[in-house]
Chain A
Amino acid sequence: MLLGTRILGLISAVAIATAAPAFALGQDEKVPPKLALLVMLKVLTYDKNLAARGEGDFVVLVAHEAGQDAARREALTATEELRGATLRTRTVRFRFVAFSNEASLRAAVTEHKAEALLLLPGLSPEGLKTAASVAGSLRLYSLSLDPSFVERSLAVGVTNHAGRPQIVLNLGAARLANASFEPAVLKLARIVQ
């Protein structure tokens, strides 16, 4: 019986090893935009200063440059699926704007009373610099669907770590936004400066 079990185990392991249909593993995929958005918004609820920011709608300005059409469409789908979602009783609104310089981005933030900026993959280095500058000076949360932007200058992103989402937090950028995150989220995040 024991010998039979061993042989069965050996055969099964070899059979599994040689079976090679190529289905997606998800190890190297980017985090789906909707999941990344949910995680990032959830992270904001761990900001000790969130409640002091105000009431009414919580507006996220989805800022993009010309040429980011694919990323914009993807983000549009994700935000549509989150339409009506609330953040501590505040309804989350996504507003899409195209910007070309700091002045136009500042104007859009003011117009929409945005409290967060969401930047999309494919943003130019100059656009990233502009967005970080505006977010810092206006104390906005800066969120990114490209986690590499967080390594450089934005506050919150989500990356794929071993097939699961991982929060990426730039504490310097978060401080500029007057955000102070609780240890509960810090311990789950990859921290960059």
Chain B
Amino acid sequence: MRRYFWLGAAAALSWGASAFAQATPVPDPVAPQSADPSLDISSIDLEDLLDTPIESVSRREEKSSLAPATVFVVSQDDIRKQGFHTLADVLRSMPGFFISDDAAYPVAGIRGFSTPGDLSTRILILVDGHPLNNSVGIGQSYIARDFPVNARGIERVEVIKGPVGSVYGPLAYFGVVNVVTRRAEGEGHSAEVAVGGELAQGAPNGGEVEALYSGAAGGASWVINLGLYRSNGFTWEFPELVGLDRDLPEGGVVRDADRRWANNTYASIRYSDLTLTLGWSQRWKNLPASPYSVVIGDPRNNFYNRTGFAQLTWARKLTEQFELYARAGYDDFRYTDDLVYPPPPDDAGMFYDLGVDRWGTAEVRGTLTPLEGHRDMLGVEVQYHDTNQRSQYRDLPNALEDPVDGFGVGDLANRFVTLNAYLLVEQRLLEDRLLLQGGLTFYVHQLFGNRLTPKLAAVFQATPDDTLKGYYSEGFRPPMVFEAVFEDGLDFIPNGGLRPETVRTAELSYERRLGGVATVGLSLYHSRYASLIRSTTVPNPDLGGVPPDPENPDDFRQQFQNGGEASATGMDLHFNLRLRRTLRAYGGVAVQFADYGTDDPAERARAAANFAPVTANAALSSNGLWEPLSLALNAAFVAGRSKDPDTILIPTDRDSVDPYLLLNATARLEFPWVKGLGAQLSVYNLLDWRYADPVVGDLVPLSEVRNPGRSFRVDMEYRF
């Protein structure tokens, strides 16, 4: 298969090179030329003319074609037409991304990598440039309905694949997801209200209300986005558990144990140079798959997480050459769960976990343009985190409160400061056709040490239609507080000696615009990941050196340790097409190979859990049939993935999950006879494919969770 990869890469590069070498007669609508009798202005893509700005790569707006990274953008128009309701829906359609879901949280994978149980600790999630990820590392993935903005409030989603540690510091390890929210459209007021209902497994099971209000007056503008969601969820089937020594509903069918609710609020108020942003989301959900060996199917098992933040930014161009930006923010993250354990000896009532991270942020950034074509950016960001974790039975004292009879561990408080200082230098040459960018970030974590991270990039626009990009970038990820200090008195023991994970990536990409209506791009990359942090089974330290008994689970504990290494080589092909209203399409294919630097098959399988060697995505929409009616289809293909062998305890379990194809379809009608009224019908998992995702070891004896199948959704909206 590796041979085919390189053959494909060579063919694609050869195609690109030949296209590059030819004097291709693609009309350039902008460059001076003789009169072109065939130029149809209606067919030119407006966003192509304007070249949608990208804010993520260099923390400022810039032309996407010249952004020094592999970026991809999905707009509000696509989100609406495709019937996307969560960030996970959007990411699932983007080239190089895939989504795994263990019935607790959907999590995103990039270029094949998605560690089971990793709740967005290796992907930086931003909303309008504000980082959301907490430093505890549990309880929130930020891409489901635990995101402060619902789909109606999103203007566009920008993603960067690959590490961007030199700009953003930690967590931009596999990539960055930046959500840009909608802004007020001119003076006056406008509003949108939408009501949606879900139907699954033959019955109505949930609904959602979304609202967006925007306005502008007296030099100020504002946008408020609200969402309420409630659902009974799905009936789940775990037939592999039937016959095991474990409490289980009849036939392994778990009903009425997947209820969920969520709400979000997002407000942005702009006046002069100031922007005040407030975000809030909370999500509660039952746990049908029941982690940590709790009673499966008990409706009292639940997770709750919330994220709130307030941020004030100020930006002003003080002189023609100097801009200053400052922001101050406060974030509050809280996670709790309630878990029901089996009858005696564990019959002690509800067990609960708590994770808290509250942090304040101050950032100042100056941008200097002393000469035409040259730009320097210097910034520093300081955060103060106050974290806490607790894990105990609700009705019993924990071990700190009662060292003799207490159970569980309470109040693991950690306070620490982080500092992220960054320098970004840009120089444009050759009449703007060549952009050179160099970056350095110095990051200090009070608990986990320092890190210097460089980036070098070159972007060459050979012709208005051909862009070549090459970059070397590094990233890193400090240990999560959960990984380093968490202990629950049951399974987990802490490891204060954890070191940051690191990654180095070299990438070459080529992008070509075709006739003003399409763009195709190809990236080749090689990444080396080191000091990867993994949950490892270790002998119980209480044994005092006595060899553990492999048959006795009490002789073992879970501990996060460094040690994993991986290198990945891959190819990432993407396309973007806009043929007036007839066809809008985007998508791509990502093919990657990983080497884990070990000959031990079990260790390899453990490291490769949930790694997808091939992912493909496509989204199509059209208003060609009738302008008020848009028809859309999106598809996601994910190749077969192996499971962590440690999670396979049932002899009949398979050691990998099959490849799958997920198809979603949406028809949307904007009633021409009632201005502002629209209706939408979506079918998710059109093929009713019961695909499965490998899951983290916490869910043993489950080693995979299968999608519950096709579902429907109807929405009505009114804009005024």
Contacts and interface: CB of A to CB of B under 8 A. Distances in A.
Interface of A: 5-6, 8-10, 12-13, 15-17, 19-28, 32, 34-35, 38-39, 41-43, 45-46, 77, 80-88, 92, 161-167, 169, 171, 183-188, 191-193
Nearest to B426: A16
Contacts, number: 163
A21 B455 contact: no
Contact of B32 (A9, A38, A81): A81
B47 A188 contact: yes
A9 B186 contact: no
Contact of A38 (B41, B187, B436): B41
Q: Which of B39, B41, B426, B440 has the most CB of A within 10 A?
A: B41
Contacts of B430: 23
7 contacts: A22-B371, A23-B372, A42-B42, A82-B39, A84-B39, A86-B40, A165-B49
B22 interface: no
Contacts of A38: 29-30, 41, 44, 49
B423 interface: yes
Interface stretch (B60-68, B126-134, B304-312, B392-400): B60-68
B256 interface: no
B425 A17 contact: yes
B439 A13 contact: yes
A81 B76 contact: no
B50 A165 contact: yes
Contacts of B452: 6, 9
Contacts of B370: 20
A188 B112 CA distance: 34
B620 to A, nearest CB: 18
Contacts of A15: 438
Contacts of B35: 80-84
Contacts of A86: 39-42
B49 A35 contact: yes
Nearest to B166: A9
- Greatest chain B CB density within 10 A among A9, A27, A191 is at A9
Contacts of B423: 13
A27 B369 contact: yes
Interface string B452-463: 101110000000
Given A13-B439, A23-B432, A24-B372, A39 B427 contact: no
Given A23-B432, A81-B33, A87-B41, 6 more contacts: A17-B425, A20-B371, A84-B39, A85-B40, A86-B39, A186-B186
Interface residues of B, number: 61
A39 B527 CA distance: 41
Given A10-B454, A12-B438, A191-B185, A162 B62 contact: yes
Interface of B: 29-30, 32-42, 44, 46-47, 49-51, 53, 60-63, 76-77, 155, 182-183, 185-187, 320, 369-376, 423, 425-432, 436-440, 452, 454-456, 474, 504
A9 B50 contact: no
B528 to A, nearest CB: 10
Contacts of A12: 438, 454, 456
Contacts of A82: 35-36, 39
A21 B440 CA distance: 22
Nearest to B34: A81
Contact of B30 (A34, A43, A166, A169): A34
Contacts of A42: 41-42, 44, 46, 49
B104 to A, nearest CB: 35
Given A35-B49, A38-B30, A164-B50, A84 B37 contact: yes
List the 6 shortest-distance A-B pairs measured between CB atoms, nearest first. A9-B454, A191-B186, A84-B37, A13-B438, A83-B35, A85-B39
Contact of B187 (A20, A87, A191): A191
Contacts of B371: 20, 22
Contacts of A34: 30, 32
Contacts of A162: 53, 60-62
A164 B372 contact: no
A87 B43 CA distance: 9
A54 B705 CA distance: 60
Contact of B155 (A23, A80, A161, A187): A187
